[in-house]
Structure 1
Amino acid sequence: MGDGRDTSGLRPGAVGSSARSHFPRIPMKLENTYRLEPVAQISRLAMTKVIKDTFEGILGNKQYDEGESPDLVKLLSDMIKEQVKSLGYQRYKIVATVALGPSKGTTLTSASRFVWNDSCDTYAEYVYTNACMYAIGTVFTVFLD
């Protein structure tokens, strides 16, 4: 090259690559991206509608089948969770549970406990019944701060 540097020991394309080290790096200032509160509050009414529509669409007038129930509750809870996610609320942990059983001669007692922030965390539930079965769907949403 005509600038007086010895380039015999460098691979092609490496000429001038050391010139970058002569310029000082300017430190970048980055702003924090975390939020302590959600941009929008999640709607309990919208979540309840998701549960109701899912139950009515899948269960309809279906007969209770003990052998099918484990797969059915997994399907229902996954569908509910995905549909609540599709509502577009960001930074929420979504937990969907479904209980299913025959409607004649059975009772169900359930309880849950969470540590959460009442200002942004919430839940929704819906109870579906037909002549042969009941289904209880619950969705918990917890904001990830």
Structure 2
Amino acid sequence: MSVQGRKNNAITEQGGLNSELKKQKSWSDKMSEKSYDTRSSLNRSGATSRFGRLRSRLKTLAALGYSRNFRNIEESVSLQPTYKMGPDCNQVFSVENAKHIIHGVLEAYLKGKDYDAKRFANLSRTLAELIKERVKNSGISRYKIVAYVTIVEKNEQCCNHGSRCLWNVSTDNYATSVYETKQFTAVGLVFAVYFD
């Protein structure tokens, strides 16, 4: 008798384990049955399934002639190169304009406020987003804008703020503005990096 035959005989002799193994379902079989039951119960109750929106979009795209791998969609969107290596004369990042925007936002939102560490943590993020949007809308295009605001309480301490950048000196620049009160100091920075 071969080794494999001995193993099979040993399993059948130990209480019919072989038949029990056949009766047990694998984990993936149980999960697929469970998901099928869940989907059928959801569809019976009138509720949409979890992937219902995706299925309807795929059906719509298939009706329009697109395949499931979306190759046709990728081919339909083709951008031509512009061969621009620098910004137009009227769309260069203006440091002075950005400084006015930063100082205006900081003064408008922080004037007359008392320092509160919990409130100012969220407020600094909001101010950075607002400054970023206003600089973007100031007439520059093809620039990546990074803005952040730091608000520090005055407690008779010194605070140094530094940054380093690796960029193209002819197109990229930064602007900073400081707003001070008796209780705190707010520093706003904007970095503009041209991308082609």
Q: For the structure 1 residues 66 and 31, does the alpha-carbon distance in structure 2 shift closer, same or farther, using more than 3 Å as the test?
A: closer
Shift of 1:69: 1.7
Residue 118 of structure 2: SS of its match in structure 1? Answer: coil
Identity %: 36
Runs in 1 of length 4+ with deviation above 6 angstroms? none
Shift of 1:31: 5.7
Unaligned 5+ segments in structure 2 are 1-78
Residue 85 (str. 1) matches residue 85 (str. 2): no
2: distance between equivalents of 1:61 and 1:86?
27
Partner of 2:85: 36
Partner of 2:193: 142
Residue 50 of structure 1: SS of its match in structure 2? Answer: helix
Residue 75 of structure 1: SS of its match in structure 2? Answer: helix
Of structures 1 and 2, the one scoring higher in RCO (CA 8 A, sep 6+) is 1
Q: How many residues align?
A: 116
Residue 118 (str. 1) matches residue 163 (str. 2): no
Most deviating of 108-117 and 36-45:
108-117
Residue 117 of structure 2: SS of its match in structure 1? Answer: coil
User: Could you state the TM-score of these two structures normalised by the residue count of structure 1?
Assistant: 0.75
Partner of 1:66: 117
Which has the larger strand fraction? 1
Shift of 1:33: 1.5
1: distance between equivalents of 2:148 and 2:162?
12
Q: Give me the CA root mean square deviation.
A: 1.4
2: distance between equivalents of 1:31 and 1:59?
45
Contact 1:103 1:129 in 2 (8 A): no
Q: 2:105 aligns with which of 41, 54, 63?
A: 54
Which has the larger helix fraction? 2
2: distance between equivalents of 1:134 and 1:112?
18
Unaligned 5+ segments in structure 1 are 1-29
User: Could you state the TM-score of these two structures normalised by the residue count of structure 2?
Assistant: 0.56
1:11-26 correspondence runs (5 A)? none
